[in-house]
């Protein structure tokens, strides 16, 4: 197997998933409209909460609206259909044909996640004007852009692993109906997408800070708006990397076990 | 050396009984309520270039065996070797040696045009560009797919989809082709087209084929060897003809008589009689057909006659029934 063959096979999966996404154009449109609405509504909400005050608890309004808008985008990038895809494949037995491919099942899922990132990246660009108009997006804190992009990438990778972990439950239960929704709600909260961590009561914030989800949304956005400064930035990125190693390793182990005990539905 | 070899292959399924209701998925996860089914001690060896029919009633364990051969399922115990590879241990290496067609589900990309699926598979299996083009051209012609190459797979008819699936499985020229009920639900012409393709493939390129089917015409038309399984065990492994002799030694002579009378001849038994047409069953090892015909025509006036071979369908039916009653 040559290197070009290696990457060619992986690109085949990735591009097939990209095309599959674009085969349903209305879905793509909804993906674009839903976060745009979320951004506009959240900005309006925070403006109303602030009222006449320009700073609440040391956080200026512009910082807050920037936070929630970026968090929505971050969440959009992280929200992928790996779980749905896998559940469907396990449920109707298509997982069997997936497993008879010369590329491992876990690799195929990662290709799928990369495909979704490729689809979403240009969409984020389209969303930017909405964000600037609705929330008056502030410029990144001085020197924060580079670390922000790095942190976003790490956050995306941690999120990929977390999705894969949740999805792998389907191998044991053959479905995920209740859990998937539970996860969606919880991750929105734990990642700091709905409200920033500094708004949470101390006990809750302490719990959330010890969980991996804050790496996905809170850390990169906090870096962008300058909540983290100087050494704190690199400390936060270090924590993200640690989570990536931990969650990534766990994902790899769980998937190896899952694949050995796969049950293929139907004759 | 055999290309496919299984020795004492066992697969035990512990399938968790599903829980219904709210959070059924979560509750099932913690459930210890199992159903057990199994494939028992399956041993066979298939040489390169063979075309073998792998038969058995529903739930006999055929698909389970195929899934183990493709590396999808991990056997509980026993040995398994496909072209020098242990499928479940080296799933990806095994995948390059085999082509698989499941009649019940497609390996094609559902939302994309058929041609796109071919392109994906070409890349996935790293088929050199020229080789890929030659194979696509050949299969498109052989299977008559030119008219629907640009149609999304979800819009294809079953027959078209099956042809696409077959081509997809053979694009990278695997040594082995597993066909799991490839003709299920197809019309007569579509079936024949698939059979012709498989037959040619086996003869021209020496591709080893393992075929699972409920259609005995598939078997009679294609297979020189049969492996029959039931309740997860091998019942018969060998050529088609001896099986017929063993389970259906009798042949039938159908005669049309000039007048409506009973027929009484030595060595034959009347099975059915209907307005001058009489069905006689006889054992050709005791009474050769020519002798019987001579005997009947000496006693009665015959206007027409025909001899029928026992068909495989009847043979298999008898085998299963015999086993069930035991």
**Could you write out the DSSP letters of every residue in B73-94?**
S--SEEEEEETTB-TTTSHHHH
The 3-state DSSP class for residue A100 equals coil
Q: What is the pLDDT of residue B314?
A: 76
Q: Do A97 and B106 touch (CB under 8 A)?
A: yes
Kindly determine whether residue A9 and residue B124, on different chains, have CB atoms separated by under 8 Å: yes
DSSP H or E run through B63 = helix B62-69
> Do B272 and B153 share a structural domain?
no
Q: Give contacts of A174 with chain B, Cβ < 8 Å.
A: 18, 28
Question: Who wins on pLDDT, B14 or A198?
Answer: A198
Domain coordinates in residue numbering, chain A = 13-260
To which residue do tokens 């299920």 refer? B184
Which of the four pLDDT bands, split at 50, 70 and 90, describes residue A91? confident
Q: Does B272 touch chain A (CB under 8 A)?
A: no
CATH of residue B205's domain is 3.40.50.300
Task: Give the pLDDT confidence score for residue A267 in this predicted structure.
Answer: 45
Q: Which residue of chain B comes nearest to A100, CA vs CA?
A: B95
Pairwise CA distance, residues A29 & B49, whole Å: 52
Residue B110 CB-density burial (10 A; 0-12 exposed, 13-18 middle, 19+ buried): middle
Mark which residues 160-219 of B lie under 8 Å from A by CB. Answer: 181
Cross-strand bridge partners of residue B304: B256
Identify whether B32 is part of a domain.
no
Asked whether the beta carbons of residue A175 and residue B70 sit closer than 8 angstroms, the reply is no
Considering Cα of B135, then B141, then B143, then B145, what sign does the dihedral take? Answer: positive
Same domain, yes or no, for B191 and B277?
Answer: no
Specify the range with the lowest mean pLDDT, choosing from A137-151, A218-232, A248-262, B257-271. B257-271
A81-95, A118-132, B20-34: which has the minimum mean pLDDT?
A: B20-34
Q: Which domain holds residue B292?
A: 249-309
CATH number for the domain harbouring residue B277: 3.30.70
User: What's the confidence (pLDDT) of residue A82?
Assistant: 81
CB atoms within 10 A of CB A13: 23
Q: A102 and B24: CB-CB below 8 Å? A: no
Give the nearest partner residue to B92 out of A103, A176, A264, using CB atoms: A103
- Domain-embedded: residue B25: no
CB within 8 Å: B100 and A97: yes
- Are residue B212 and residue B160 in the same domain, yes or no? yes
A184 vs B161: which has the higher pLDDT: B161
pTM: 0.81
pLDDT, tens digit, for every residue of A225-253? Answer: 998 888 999 999 999 999 999 999 999 99
Over 90: is that where the pLDDT of A89 sits?
A: no
- Enumerate the residues of chain B whose CB falls inside 8 A of the CB of residue A165: none
Does B284 map to a domain? yes
A91 Cβ under 8 Å from any chain B Cβ: no
Mutate to test the interface with B, among A100, A102, A180, A264 (most CBs of B within 10 A): A100
Q: Which residue from A13, A99, A172 is facing B71, i.e. has the nearest CB?
A: A99
Give residue A52's Cα distance to chain centre. 34
Outline where chain A has alpha helix (H).
3-23, 25-50, 61-78, 82-91, 95-99, 105-135, 145-173, 177-190, 202-209, 218-225, 231-260
| Contact criterion met (CB below 8 Å) for B190 and B157 | no
Q: Which residues of A touch B168 (CB under 8 A)?
A: none
Give the separation between CA B267 and CA B269, rounded to whole angstroms. 7
Residues A197, A209: Cα–Cα separation, whole Å: 8
What is the count of structural domains for chain B?
A: 2
Q: CB-CB: which of A12, A99, A263 is closest to B124?
A: A12
Q: Which of A131-135, A198-202, A221-225 has the lowest mean pLDDT?
A: A131-135
pLDDT score, position B238: 92
Measured between CA atoms, the residue of chain B closest to residue A93 is B105
Q: Strand locations in B17-97, DSSP E?
A: 34-46, 51-55, 77-82
Confidence grade of residue A111 (pLDDT, cut at 50, 70, 90): very high
Residues of A in contact with B114 (CB under 8 A): none
Same domain, yes or no: B270 and B240 = no
Same domain for B282 and B199: no
**Statement to judge: residues B59 and B124 lie in one domain:** yes
Residues B123 and B194 in one domain: yes
Determine, for residues A8 and B22 on separate chains, whether the beta-carbon distance falls below 8 Å: no
**For residue B44, which of B59, B58, B61, B65 has the smallest C-alpha distance?**
B65
Tell me if B113 is assigned to some domain: yes
Tokens describing residue B85: 């590879």
Backbone φ and ψ for B47, nearest 5 degrees, come out as: -85, 160
Chunked into runs of 10 residues, chain B (326 residues) has average pLDDT values of 90 70 67 68 93 87 88 89 92 92 88 92 92 95 94 93 94 94 89 92 94 88 90 86 78 86 84 85 86 89 85 76 69
Q: Are residues B268 and B121 in the same domain?
A: no
């Amino acid at each position: 197997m040559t290197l070009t063959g290696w990457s060619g096979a992986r690109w085949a999966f990735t591009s097939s998933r990209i095309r599959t996404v674009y085969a349903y154009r209305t879905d793509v449109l909804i993906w674009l409209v839903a976060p745009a609405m979320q951004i506009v509504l959240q900005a309006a909400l925070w403006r109303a909460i602030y009222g006449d005050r320009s700073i609440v608890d040391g956080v200026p309004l512009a910082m807050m609206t920037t936070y929630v808008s970026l968090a929505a985008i971050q969440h959009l990038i992280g929200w992928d259909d790996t779980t749905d895809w896998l559940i469907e494949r396990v449920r109707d037995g298509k997982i069997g044909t997936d497993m008879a491919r010369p590329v491992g099942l876990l690799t195929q899922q990662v290709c799928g996640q990369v495909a979704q990132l490729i689809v979403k990246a240009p969409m984020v660009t389209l969303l930017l004007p909405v964000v600037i108009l609705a929330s008056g997006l502030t410029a990144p804190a001085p020197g924060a852009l580079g670390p922000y992009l790095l942190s976003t990438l790490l956050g995306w990778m941690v999120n990929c692993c977390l999705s894969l972990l949740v999805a792998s439950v389907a191998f044991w239960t053959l479905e995920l109906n209740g859990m998937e929704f539970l996860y969606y709600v919880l991750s929105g909260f734990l990642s700091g997408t709905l409200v920033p961590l500094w708004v949470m009561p101390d006990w809750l914030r302490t719990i959330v800070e010890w969980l991996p989800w804050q790496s996905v949304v809170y850390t990169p956005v906090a870096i962008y708006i300058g909540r983290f400064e100087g050494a704190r930035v690199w400390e936060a990125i270090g924590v993200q990397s640690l989570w990536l190693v931990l969650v990534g390793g766990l994902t790899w182990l769980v998937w190896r076990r899952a694949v050995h005990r796969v049950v293929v539905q139907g004759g | 050396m055999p290309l496919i070899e299984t020795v004492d292959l066992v697969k035990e399924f512990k399938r968790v009984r599903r829980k219904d209701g709210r959070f059924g998925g979560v509750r099932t996860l913690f459930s210890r309520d199992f159903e057990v089914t199994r494939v028992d001690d399956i041993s066979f060896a298939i040489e390169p270039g063979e075309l073998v029919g792998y038969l058995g009633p529903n739930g006999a364990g055929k698909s389970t065996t195929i899934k183990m051969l493709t590396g999808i399922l991990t056997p509980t115990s026993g040995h398994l070797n496909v072209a020098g590879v242990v499928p479940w241990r080296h799933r990806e290496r095994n995948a390059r040696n085999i082509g698989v067609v499941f009649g019940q589900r497609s390996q094609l990309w559902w939302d994309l045009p058929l041609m796109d699926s071919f392109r994906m598979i070409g890349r996935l299996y790293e088929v050199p560009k020229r080789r890929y083009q030659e194979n696509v051209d050949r299969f498109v012609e052989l299977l008559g797919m030119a008219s629907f190459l640009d149609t999304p797979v979800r819009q294809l008819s079953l027959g078209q989809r099956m042809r696409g699936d077959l081509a997809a499985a053979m694009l990278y020229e695997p040594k082995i082709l597993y066909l799991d009920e490839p003709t299920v639900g197809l019309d007569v012409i579509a079936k024949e087209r698939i059979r012709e393709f498989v037959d040619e493939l086996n003869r021209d390129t020496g591709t080893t084929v393992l075929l699972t089917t409920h259609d005995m015409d598939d078997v009679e038309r294609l297979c020189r060897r049969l492996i029959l399984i039931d309740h997860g065990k091998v019942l018969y492994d060998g050529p088609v003809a001896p099986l017929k002799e063993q389970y259906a030694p009798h042949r039938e002579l159908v005669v049309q008589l000039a007048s409506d009378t009973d027929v009484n001849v030595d060595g034959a038994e009347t099975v059915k009689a209907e307005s001058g047409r009489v069905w006689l069953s006889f054992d050709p090892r005791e009474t050769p057909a020519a002798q019987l015909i001579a005997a009947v025509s000496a006693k009665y006036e015959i206007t027409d006659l025909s001899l029928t071979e026992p068909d495989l369908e009847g043979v298999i039916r008898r085998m299963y029934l015999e086993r069930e009653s035991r």
